[in-house]
């Protein structure tokens, strides 16, 4: 009895003392780090280990004895995932968890507008905060190496600089609400085929120049609070327990002070997880044990086996304490942050943010014969053809799938916008069921014959083996006989606008015959309204491609060698294209593309004046200033993305013909001119030297190219690095 009373007394003293220190913290009398150390020193070994692994599908335990909160997280790069039952993926069937779906991240990248990325993160953070979630599992910032990657729609394109610039304000926006962003998947998760065990073989140069910069920017500039490891291996170790990636680079070189979270089921070994940088193990055995038993979390690698390894001296207490410090800091930043603002959910403001991002991300790829914007004075009958005109896209694709409060389909958006002004005839046109193909084609042709213009909503969807987590695409071509249907439609009506709904590039063998083409992405809750505003001209398109559209898949660098370059032999994949990813490959190898990186048209036109440069030389401590006048020569207001690329004209190593180093999106009224300025510094000229394992610049001549895309270069200027 005395022993029990003694234990109770010690516990009460701990709680009171900790509460007093917490009160001091709230009065800003002690720092976060002091609060972390205070809690750490009061924890038992068992309590420390308990912090390092999940307690449910989407939560991790706190320390109830000390009043330290649990951590709750959910997927959503694009919205807050629906609630699931404690131990499974299946829905909890709640009635209050229907969210707003924001556009996919390829669409966000296509806006080339960092302010919209900030707005996106802010709105998303507010929705997570309202739902009492502490960690938002996103954004995805892997590089789109091949168009066939099933998760390309979750990422921000093929260029490390664009991805870096766009992910930082997104992260900052989320974390303003006291919710941790969790950038993923670190690192080299560039395919879904064999993703759980394929070993990525890549040069140090490509790793540091192409695949790591966005993660580095997330840490350095975004100050991100958590990072998720990837499933694949690098140098023979799984990335969720990879010493080089997690300890050497992330924590030591970059000084990351946040939490490394495993992807669900991405942990395989207690020693490597304990010593190599993983902090929080999630989802182990998630798909192996059905149903989950009550004691399954004790079998996690960082649970009971970790506790035993610590007691046996097989792993270090130092690494455990480092994990616990990080987890406590994350908890105090999020779940126990008393200063975080109130959240909000499903608000009109968030819907407006979703719509604006969708509108600015839509890319006008082609517009011959001025089919767009729709001339409503001369149009009486419009044919809307395609399954994607009526299909909702937010509820598929794997872990990013959402239960949405609403999703306006393209057909609904057009009907709402044009109802009573024109006749709209709909035909499904194509289906995943082959036995319906002829019937649907006949119906589509009949609708096309009696219409003035065809709006064909095609592309991909979030089916398995199209664009979906867990599998890459089967083909670069369009599924369900769309190419054949378009060829037949052209025979009866050549006024076709093709709207490609996808997160990746697709083959378009009929592109020379179709007058107008729009890249429409996955636009979320406001899909139909955003598209209707672009089609009618109420909004002038200003999106630019964050990816290249090759004519055929064999033109892509990842597909230009052999199967060991993609998808590998299930055990290994070799990145033989090295640093030449995306437009770097096409431009350097002089391979023509259907639509190039950075391309996007407008309903108005822009001219680029003669650039002004402050000097023809730059040294390590200098800044080179380049300004160029941009003028809107058209009849309506519009935005242009002015892009600056750098080329090393003489180098001892292979350098790409162009590398994006800066861009500015500028809004101009009709007839207006503005001066757009860029700053070039030493870091913009460097490459990663594998001998010294550092970035370096070689002296000599460089060229700055300024234009409207990676191919549409309007001005060039040379300078020297001395």
The span from the CA of 662 to the CA of 533, in Å, is 29
Q: Is-contact 414 535, C-beta < 8 A?
A: yes
Predicted local confidence at residue 87, as pLDDT: 85
**What pLDDT, in 10s, does the model give residues 591-628?**
999 999 999 999 999 999 999 999 999 998 899 999 99
Q: Residue holding tokens 């038993």?
A: 293
State which fold the 351-547 domain adopts.
Rossmann fold (3.40.50)
**What pLDDT, in 10s, does the model give residues 410-451?**
999 999 999 889 999 999 999 989 889 999 999 999 999 999
How many alpha carbons lie under 13 Å from residue 661 in its C-beta half-sphere?
A: 27
DSSP string, 539-582: S------SS-EESSGGGSGGGSS-TTTTT-SSSEEE-TTTT--T
Measured between alpha carbons, how far is residue 206 from residues 145, 250, 580 in Å?
12, 17, 8
DSSP string, 513-529: T-SEEEE----GGGHHH
> What sign does the CA torsion over 110, 115, 121, 124 have?
negative
Predicted local confidence at residue 145, as pLDDT: 98
Counting beta carbons within 10 angstroms of the beta carbon of residue 369, is it exposed (0 to 12), middle (13 to 18) or buried (19 or more)?
exposed
Q: Is-contact 384 457, C-beta < 8 A?
A: yes
The span from the CA of 688 to the CA of 269, in Å, is 32
Q: Is the pLDDT of residue 12 over 80?
A: no
Q: Which of 87, 263, 387, 555 is catalytic?
A: 263
> Structure tokens of 126?
């507010």
Q: According to the 3-state scheme, what is the secondary structure of 423-488? A: EEEEECCCCCCHHHHHHHHHHHHHHHHCCCEEEEEEECCCCCCCCECCECCCCCCCCCCHHHHHHH
Per-residue b or e along 267-292, where b marks 16 or more CB atoms closer than 10 Å to that residue's CB: bbbbebbbbbbbbbbbbbbbeeeeeb
Average pLDDT over residues 311-336: 98
Angle of helix 32-42 relative to helix 317-333, nearest 10 degrees, comes to 130
Predicted local confidence at residue 717, as pLDDT: 96
Q: Residue holding tokens 């790829």?
A: 365
The span from the CA of 74 to the CA of 359, in Å, is 27
What's the angle, vertex CA 30, arms to CA 26 and CA 34, rounded to 5?
120
Q: Residue holding tokens 């109420």?
A: 538
**What pLDDT, in 10s, does the model give residues 662-674?**
999 999 999 999 9
The span from the CA of 134 to the CA of 140, in Å, is 18
Catalytic residue status for 97: no
Identify the band that residue 28 occupies on the pLDDT scale cut at 50, 70 and 90: low
Q: Is the pLDDT of residue 15 over 60?
A: no
Identify the band that residue 22 occupies on the pLDDT scale cut at 50, 70 and 90: low
State which fold the 606-721 domain adopts.
Immunoglobulin-like (2.60.40)
> Structure tokens of 306?
């970790």
Q: Is-contact 353 102, C-beta < 8 A?
A: yes
Predicted local confidence at residue 10, as pLDDT: 47
Q: Is the pLDDT of residue 5 over 70?
A: no
The span from the CA of 132 to the CA of 125, in Å, is 11
Q: Residue holding tokens 């080089």?
A: 244
Within 133-229, residue ranges assigned H as helices are: 160-175, 204-206, 213-220
Predicted local confidence at residue 295, as pLDDT: 82
Identify the band that residue 291 occupies on the pLDDT scale cut at 50, 70 and 90: low
Q: What is the DSSP letter of 627?
A: E
All structural domains of the chain with their residue ranges = 1-30, 39-58+244-333, 351-547, 606-721
Query: Which range, 39-43, 90-94, 464-468, has the best average confidence (pLDDT)?
Result: 39-43
Q: Is the pLDDT of residue 506 over 60?
A: yes
Predicted local confidence at residue 275, as pLDDT: 98
The span from the CA of 712 to the CA of 122, in Å, is 34
**What pLDDT, in 10s, does the model give residues 102-144?**
999 999 999 999 999 999 999 999 999 999 999 999 999 999 9
Average pLDDT over residues 504-512: 98
Predicted local confidence at residue 76, as pLDDT: 87
Q: What is the DSSP letter of 246?
A: I
Nearest C-alpha neighbor of 183 from the set 263, 111, 284: 263
Residue 685 has phi, psi (to 5 degrees) of -105, -5
| Topology match between the domains 351-547 and 606-721 | no
Q: Is the pLDDT of residue 19 over 70?
A: no
Nearest C-alpha neighbor of 680 from the set 650, 714, 705, 649: 705
Average pLDDT over residues 245-269: 98
Identify the band that residue 20 occupies on the pLDDT scale cut at 50, 70 and 90: low
Query: Is the previous residue joined to 30 through a cis bond, with omega within 30 degrees of 0?
Result: no
Average pLDDT across the chain, whole number: 95
The span from the CA of 103 to the CA of 116, in Å, is 11
Predicted local confidence at residue 161, as pLDDT: 98
């Amino acid at each position: 009895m005395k022993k029990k009373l003694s234990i109770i007394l010690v516990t009460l003293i701990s709680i009171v003392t900790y509460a007093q220190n917490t009160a001091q913290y709230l009065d800003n009398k002690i720092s976060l780090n002091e609060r972390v150390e205070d809690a750490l020193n009061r924890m038992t070994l068992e309590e420390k280990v308990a912090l390092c692994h999940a307690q449910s599908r989407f939560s991790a335990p706190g320390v109830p004895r000390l009043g330290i909160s649990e951590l709750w997280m959910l997927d959503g790069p694009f919205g807050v995932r629906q609630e699931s039952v404690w131990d499974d993926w299946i829905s909890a069937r709640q009635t209050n968890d229907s969210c707003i779906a924001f556009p996919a991240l390829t669409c966000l990248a296509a806006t080339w507008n960092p302010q919209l990325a900030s707005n996106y993160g802010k709105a998303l953070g507010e929705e997570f905060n309202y739902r009492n979630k502490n960690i938002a599992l996103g954004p995805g910032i892997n590089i789109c190496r091949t168009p066939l990657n099933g998760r390309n729609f979750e990422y921000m394109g093929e260029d490390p600089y664009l991805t870096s610039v766009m992910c930082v304000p997104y992260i900052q926006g989320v974390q303003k609400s006291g919710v941790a962003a969790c950038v993923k998947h670190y690192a080299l998760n560039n395919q879904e085929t064999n993703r759980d065990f394929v070993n990525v073989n890549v040069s140090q140069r490509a790793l540091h120049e192409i695949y790591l910069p966005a993660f580095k920017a997330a840490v350095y500039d975004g100050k991100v609070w958590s990072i998720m490891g990837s499933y694949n291996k690098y140098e023979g170790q799984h990335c969720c327990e990879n010493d080089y990636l997690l300890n050497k680079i992330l924590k030591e070189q970059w000084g990351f002070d946040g939490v490394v979270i495993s992807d669900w089921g991405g942990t395989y070994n207690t020693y490597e997880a304990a010593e190599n940088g993983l902090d929080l193990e999630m989802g182990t055995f998630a798909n192996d044990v059905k149903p989950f038993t009550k004691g399954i979390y004790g079998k996690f690698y960082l649970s009971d086996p970790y506790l035993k390894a610590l007691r046996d001296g097989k792993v270090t207490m130092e690494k455990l304490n480092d994990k616990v410090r990080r987890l406590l800091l994350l908890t105090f930043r999020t779940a126990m942050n008393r200063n975080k603002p109130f959240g909000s959910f499903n608000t009109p403001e968030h819907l407006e943010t979703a719509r604006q991002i969708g509108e600015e991300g839509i890319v006008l790829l082609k517009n011959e014969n001025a089919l767009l914007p729709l001339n409503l004075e001369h149009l009486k009958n419009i044919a809307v053809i395609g399954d994607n005109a009526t299909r909702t896209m937010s509820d598929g694709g794997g872990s990013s799938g959402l239960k949405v409060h609403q999703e306006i389909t393209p057909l609904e958006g057009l009907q709402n916008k044009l109802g009573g002004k024109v006749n709209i005839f709909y035909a499904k046109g194509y289906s995943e069921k082959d036995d319906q193909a002829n019937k649907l084609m006949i119906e589509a042709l009949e609708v096309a014959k009696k219409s003035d213009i065809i709006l064909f909503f095609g592309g991909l969807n979030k089916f398995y083996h199209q664009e979906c987590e867990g599998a890459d695409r089967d083909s670069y071509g369009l599924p369900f006989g769309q190419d054949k249907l378009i060829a037949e439609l052209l025979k009866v009506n050549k006024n076709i606008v093709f709207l490609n709904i996808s997160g990746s590039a697709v083959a378009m063998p009929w592109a020379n015959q179709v007058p107008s083409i729009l890249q429409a992405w996955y636009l979320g809750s406001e899909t139909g309204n955003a598209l209707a505003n672009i089609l009618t001209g109420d909004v002038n398109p200003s999106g630019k491609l964050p990816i290249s559209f090759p004519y055929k898949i064999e033109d892509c660098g990842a597909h230009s060698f052999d199967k060991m370059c993609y998808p590998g032999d299930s055990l290994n994949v070799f990145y033989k294209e090295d640093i030449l990813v995306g437009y770097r490959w096409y431009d350097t190898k002089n391979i023509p593309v259907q639509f190039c990186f950075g391309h996007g048209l407008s309903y108005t036109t822009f001219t680029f004046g003669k650039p002004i440069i402050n000097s023809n030389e730059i040294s390590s401590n200098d800044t080179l200033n380049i300004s160029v006048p941009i003028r809107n020569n058209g009849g309506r207001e519009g935005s242009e993305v002015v892009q600056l690329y750098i080329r090393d004209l003489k180098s001892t190593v292979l350098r790409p013909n162009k590398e994006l180093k800066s861009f500015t999106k500028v809004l101009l009224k009709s007839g207006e001119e503005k001066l757009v300025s860029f700053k070039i510094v030493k870091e913009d000229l460097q490459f990663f030297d594998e001998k010294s394992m550092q970035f370096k610049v070689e002296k000599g001549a460089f060229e700055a190219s300024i234009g409207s895309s990676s191919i549409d270069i309007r001005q060039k200027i040379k300078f020297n690095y001395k």
